[in-house]
Amino acid sequence: MSPLDLGFILFDYAAVAVFGATGALAAARRKHDIITFAFFAAITGVGGGTLRDLLIGAPVFWVARPGYLVVCLGAAIAVWLLGARTWRMGLLLWLDAVGMAAYCVVGAAKALSLGVHPISAVVMGVLTACFGGVLRDILAGEPSVLLRREIYVTAALAGAGVFVTLASLGVDRLVAGGAGFVVALAIRGGALRFHWSLPGFPGSPESEG
Amino acid sequence: MSPLDLGFILFDYAAVAVFGATGALAAARRKHDIITFAFFAAITGVGGGTLRDLLIGAPVFWVARPGYLVVCLGAAIAVWLLGARTWRMGLLLWLDAVGMAAYCVVGAAKALSLGVHPISAVVMGVLTACFGGVLRDILAGEPSVLLRREIYVTAALAGAGVFVTLASLGVDRLVAGGAGFVVALAIRGGALRFHWSLPGFPGSPESEG
Amino acid sequence: MSPLDLGFILFDYAAVAVFGATGALAAARRKHDIITFAFFAAITGVGGGTLRDLLIGAPVFWVARPGYLVVCLGAAIAVWLLGARTWRMGLLLWLDAVGMAAYCVVGAAKALSLGVHPISAVVMGVLTACFGGVLRDILAGEPSVLLRREIYVTAALAGAGVFVTLASLGVDRLVAGGAGFVVALAIRGGALRFHWSLPGFPGSPESEG
């Protein structure tokens, strides 16, 4: 295994862990039991990558390597044990941002490495980054990240776009991946910190019958 | 490429475009930004066909040909630019009806062409026609088309059933497809215009404990 | 076909039928029409197994054998004809428990028979058992089974875990499957009867800014 591969694998597990933790935190907010913690952690942690693998026709990554599920279980137990005093709503949003930034690169990288068209690879990055959180929100009965006004999908799109563009230009993939990660995290972080948002649709279709 | 194939491909792109537009309109109703417009357009436009391809084991149609995504992006931009004065709720419902009628035929046709059992091909037509809209409604947090009393799934079922039956009887596929499209659109259009609905379940399970 | 295979196939059809009936009952509670009955029955009946097959890369079981869909249609018609006086909310919960207990074994058994890692096979059992009901609840716009405080996922996890453990130890699969079924049904039944629940997360992350 080359150091580059190892870097992506560590990146991948780290993304699963932090995203899994956001799932467990969503369960914590409603005071669920430990099994639901684990279920939410697993769905949020591997949901996006699962959709990516199904769409590009790759074997689903965690089925043959259940270590990913064990990482999610560990994240759930960690959230449970560390408890409420340590974990706050703000942390949920920031962990989610880190997981999103990592996933938009990891998802696009896997698609590129399997020969997927660069445009579709960008989309795979966005789906990998956003779909776990979308599933978490749908299952938790909360408004999806897609409906919040703050920039979210845009950050994943920018990160995946930067990575795929640089990688297509021949830049070293770990460098390209780092750039994509930083861009996505900077945009999402700015949105969280300064409440950035894109302008909404200016029309008012409902008020004009 | 034969003219018949070309006809189906144009049908397919047109269905993606009109369904994508309904997704963008759902985003417009809540004044989302352009990225969310594009995301909703893409999910609604290709969601049903994606589910069909996953279920029948075919490569997902838009991954190798991202032109479908570009069509969705175009639909999103068109809705954004044409604005609120032109687009009204009624138009959303009628575009949705046209997309549904096209998709129930296109979805069943692809399944048939890959040797899927005719009964399953009808189901693929219904899923292709309805699932994009279901995803759109779930993601937008609105009541699913499945829960509305007006006829919807029934129209897709009739259209896919007519197409598969005629195609199985040896009728030219473009003719059979046209017939299925017209039947589905007529039933859904009648439901929209005259508020047709099937009789609901007569019992009252909840009031009798 | 060996008697063991036949046993699993009958188990499988029975699980589809009872789970399909719970889908139709969910439609009955909102007085939907017969088409929506059938749609809910089919989604609930085959949804979990469909996800399992997609994840493990197997051909989706009902596409080549639409008899499963016919069973769902039969379940929908049975619920419609037998009507409200016979069907009550409590029955919905108990049928759901039986379907869940059967599915957690059937789902894990199929995964094991295709060489999936035992840990992932347990997860496949849980997903097969729970995902149809989750889809039913999401589509019906009701709180997901995942959010109810009573034990549900835990029962499926215990049943699938018992089955996979016994099967891995070389116990006859029909015996191991029966044991898993009984364990899952006993735990879920106890939860329904005695309102068992696991302790919820003790912290209070939202009240502490």
Banded pLDDT at A84 (limits 50, 70, 90): low
Q: What is the pLDDT of residues B32-73, one digit of tens each?
A: 888 888 989 999 999 999 999 999 999 999 999 999 999 999
Question: Of A1-15, A157-171, A177-191, which gets the smallest average pLDDT?
Answer: A1-15
Q: Which of B34, B39, B70, B142 to mutate to test the interface with A (most CBs of A within 10 A)?
A: B39
Cβ burial of C94 (10 Å; 0-12, 13-18, 19+) is middle
Tell me the nearest-neighbour CA distance from B160 into chain A, angstroms.
Answer: 25
CA quadruple B125, B131, B132, B133: dihedral, nearest 10: 110
Where is A172: in which H helix or E strand? none
Residues of A in contact with B31 (CB under 8 A): 200-202, 204
The predicted structure's pLDDT at residue C79: 87
Q: Which of B201, B206, B207, B208 to mutate to test the interface with C (most CBs of C within 10 A)?
A: B201
B138 touches chain C (CB under 8 A): yes
Domain ranges of chain C: 3-194
The predicted structure's pLDDT at residue A112: 95
State how far the Cα of A73 lies from the Cα of A37, in Å rounded to an integer.
Answer: 8
Residue type, B114: L
Residue bearing the bigger pLDDT, C196 or B182 = B182
Residues 46-85 in B contacting A (C-alpha not used; CB under 8 Å): 50, 54, 59-60, 62-66, 69-70, 80, 83-85
| Contact across the interface for A56 and B34, Cβ inside 8 Å | no
Residues of A in contact with C149 (CB under 8 A): 32-33
Residue bearing the bigger pLDDT, C208 or A38 = A38
Report which of A151, A166, A153 is spatially closest to residue A103, judged by C-alpha positions.
A153
Tell me the nearest-neighbour CA distance from B82 into chain C, angstroms.
Answer: 32
The predicted structure's pLDDT at residue B207: 42
Q: Tell me, what's the ipTM? A: 0.85
The predicted structure's pLDDT at residue C113: 92
Q: Per-residue confidence of chain C (209 residues) as pLDDT tens digits?
A: 566 577 777 777 888 888 898 888 888 877 788 888 898 999 999 999 999 999 999 999 999 999 999 999 999 999 888 876 555 667 778 878 888 998 899 899 999 999 999 999 999 999 999 988 888 888 887 777 666 777 888 999 999 999 999 999 999 988 999 999 999 999 999 998 888 888 887 765 444 33
B91 touches chain A (CB under 8 A): no
Q: Taking the model in full, what pTM does it have?
A: 0.89
Q: Which of A30, A31, A68 to mutate to test the interface with C (most CBs of C within 10 A)?
A: A31
Residues of B in contact with C66 (CB under 8 A): 117, 119-120, 123
The predicted structure's pLDDT at residue C159: 97
Q: Which of A29, A30, A33 sits opposite C199 (nearest CB)?
A: A33
Report which of C119, C108, C95, C84 is spatially closest to residue C16, judged by C-alpha positions.
C95
Residues of B in contact with A157 (CB under 8 A): 35
State how far the Cα of B75 lies from the Cα of B50, in Å rounded to an integer.
Answer: 18
State how far the Cα of A32 lies from the Cα of C147, in Å rounded to an integer.
Answer: 8
Q: Which of B28, B33, B36 sits opposite A205 (nearest CB)?
A: B28
Chains with 3 or more CB pairs under 8 A to chain B: A, C
Q: What does the DSSP assignment read for A138-161?
A: HHHT---GGGSSS-SHHHHHHHHH
Q: Which of B64, B85, B87 sits opposite A117 (nearest CB)?
A: B64
State how far the Cα of A183 lies from the Cα of C58, in Å rounded to an integer.
Answer: 38
**3-state helix/strand/coil string of chain C:** CCHHHHHHHHHHHHHHHHHHHHHHHHHHHCCCCHHHHHHHHHHHHHHHHHHHHHHHCCCCHHHHCCHHHHHHHHHHHHHHHHHHHHCCHHHHHHHHHHHHHHHHHHHHHHHHHCCCCHHHHHHHHHHHHHHHHHHHHHHHCCCCHHHCCCCCHHHHHHHHHHHHHHHHCCCCHHHHHHHHHHHHHHHHHHHHHHCCCCCCCCCCCCCCC
State how far the Cα of B174 lies from the Cα of B57, in Å rounded to an integer.
Answer: 24
**3-state helix/strand/coil string of A84-144:** HHHCCHHHHHHHHHHHHHHHHHHHHHHHHHCCCCHHHHHHHHHHHHHHHHHHHHHHHCCCC
Report which of B163, B42, B111 is spatially closest to residue A146, judged by C-alpha positions.
B42
Banded pLDDT at B85 (limits 50, 70, 90): low
Residues A162-172, mean pLDDT to the nearest whole number: 95
In sequence order, which residues have a C-beta less than 8 Å from that of residue C135 and are 6 or more positions away?
A: C43, C44, C47
% of chain B exceeding 70 in pLDDT = 88
State how far the Cα of A194 lies from the Cα of C128, in Å rounded to an integer.
Answer: 43
Tell me the nearest-neighbour CA distance from B140 into chain A, angstroms.
Answer: 7
Residues of A in contact with B59 (CB under 8 A): 57
The predicted structure's pLDDT at residue B18: 87
Q: Which of C25, C34, C35, C137 to mutate to test the interface with B (most CBs of B within 10 A)?
A: C35
Q: What is the pLDDT of residues A64-75, one digit of tens each?
A: 999 999 999 999
